[in-house]
Amino acid sequence: MDVQAAHSAEVPPVPGAGAGVEDAAASGAERAGTDAAGAERAPGAVATLLTVGLGTLVTLMAFTAPASTLAATAGGLHAGPVAQTWMFTGTPVGLAALLLTAGSAADARGRRRVFGAGAVLLVLASVLSAAAPDTALFLTGRILQGAASAAVLASGLGLIAQTHPAGPHRVRALGFFGATLGAGIALGPAYAALLTQVWGWRSLYWGLAVLAAVTAMATRSVPESRAERARGLDLSGALVLGAGIACLVAAFGEGRSGWTRAAVLVPLAAGSALLALFGAVERRVGEPMLDPALWRSRAFLAAGAGAFSTGLAVVGLFSYLPTELELVLGMSPLAASLLFIVWAGVSAVTALFARHLAGRIGAAAQVALGLLLSGAGQAALYGLRAGGSYGHLVPGLAVAGIGGGVLNAALARLAVSSVPADRSAMGSGANNTARYVGSALGLALTVSVASAAHGRTPADALAAGANRGFLVSAAICAAGAAVVLLAGRERPGR
């Protein structure tokens, strides 16, 4: 099946910077006061949007909770350096390994069903982390939180796509979705730091369990939707992909002690081989979770490249930033998380207004713009020093926040518009897989770079490592923007 042809049947193609089809159609329809296809929102659209927004908010809060509570959690569980790395990366691994599987299952078995199951699993995983007597069970809970978040995120974007037809309704809904991503990242560290300060680190996981339970109950108000033709689950692809991602994250996590050791090179080689095997499996299996036909879609490739770059260079860096601020500047966890809101809060607000870019520039160009703004903001953070002031960080955080907001809104639109309408959850799963594979690797890379620097004191060493990480992430953003523009560029005559 020609994926681009299938999509063009839904919205007529227009010239632009690539993959801006839906954006342009939405903009013209919005000026006319109607949808591109004259369609109205489906019944239950508002309930769907609010429920998916709440679920997305809770999953991102769970994702970023360790950013401001690592020291307290590690102290309470007597966790070593390697375990502390996995406290950060456990949830991204669970997310990245199962997002594609969850998206395929949602399209085939029902998006509301998978979303609700993810919310229930998030309750159980949060309870396990809250009550864990040792590090092993806590990390198990964190990985299961990632698996639950995969079900919520993959099916949630599919639910929005089904209840909000292509046009201004969808543009506004996806802007709201992008804002909840930024809001979850903003609230997570502050929420965790506040509860840890008052009731201890376990309380934040009990709180997440309560919020996830509310999400599960709200799912009953969401209308069910699924693909017209049920597809089988690709278990072999899911196992190979999950194992490959776990190996890569383990390799990057071990890199903090040196990149030429066998503990790094062996899992790195194994992970690369497994991901190559995943590509071969998807070409041979009868009903692949990731349709190989999509690899010929420029919009799909641009969405994947943008999502991976966002995870690697943006999510990875900023997930560890509150911890760096605590250790370098001597800030309290709560103060560091409040400063962090400058970035994440601006990102959430920007995502709400980014819909006004629709129709003016293509979606791929929006993603590239977001990456360039994020990189510029990260470069402006350079100059962090032990015992210094946080004032010089604010402008860079604000600029990076604007870039993050543009990214969150544009990537959601590009993910939905780059796949056939009946595979929207799979498209969301593929896009989020790229994002969270990148974030798991980026977080491990950020920790490794920050830990590898030297200085007169531990704070000086971490400051030097953080400054190096800012420049590395800025360079990755610039490279990612170039790749997105090349991948999303229209072919002559199309």
Radius of gyration of the chain (CA): 21
CATH number of 11-233+289-488: 1.20.1250.20
Please name every residue paired with 361 in a beta bridge, in sequence order, or none if there are none: 358
Token code pair at residue 217:
């109950």
What pLDDT does residue 423 have? 63
One digit per residue, pLDDT tens: the chain, 494 residues? 333 333 333 332 222 333 333 343 333 333 333 344 445 666 678 888 899 999 999 998 998 888 788 888 988 898 877 777 778 777 877 777 777 778 778 877 888 999 999 999 999 999 999 999 999 999 999 999 989 998 998 888 778 878 877 777 777 887 788 788 778 877 888 889 899 989 999 999 999 999 999 999 999 988 887 776 666 677 788 788 878 877 887 777 676 667 788 888 998 999 899 989 988 888 888 777 777 777 777 778 888 888 899 988 988 888 788 888 888 888 888 888 888 888 888 888 888 787 677 667 777 888 899 999 999 999 999 988 887 888 889 999 999 999 988 887 788 777 766 666 666 556 666 777 788 778 777 877 888 788 777 777 888 888 888 999 999 999 999 999 999 988 866 554 44
Number of DSSP helices (H) and strands (E) in the chain, helices first: 18, 0
C-alpha to C-alpha distance for 22 and 10, rounded to whole angstroms: 9
What pLDDT does residue 334 have? 85
| Residue at token pair 């900023």 | 318
C-alpha to C-alpha distance for 41 and 39, rounded to whole angstroms: 7
Residue ranges of domains in the chain: 11-233+289-488, 234-288
C-alpha to C-alpha distance for 208 and 216, rounded to whole angstroms: 12
Tell me the three state secondary structure of residue 259: coil
Nearest to residue 121, comparing CAs of 187, 62, 67? 62
Contact 54, 215 (CB under 8 A): yes
Token code pair at residue 384:
């962090």
Contact 460, 281 (CB under 8 A): no
What pLDDT does residue 42 have? 65
Q: Is 376 exposed, middle or buried (0-12, 13-18, 19+ CB in 10 A)?
A: middle
Q: What are phi and psi of 303, to 5 degrees?
A: -60, -45
C-alpha to C-alpha distance for 460 and 367, rounded to whole angstroms: 35
DSSP notation for 365-415: HHHHHHHHHHHHHHHHT----TT--STTHHHHHHHHHHHHHHHHHHHHHHH
DSSP notation for 445-456: HHHHHHHH---S
Residue type present at position 422: D
Contact 365, 20 (CB under 8 A): yes
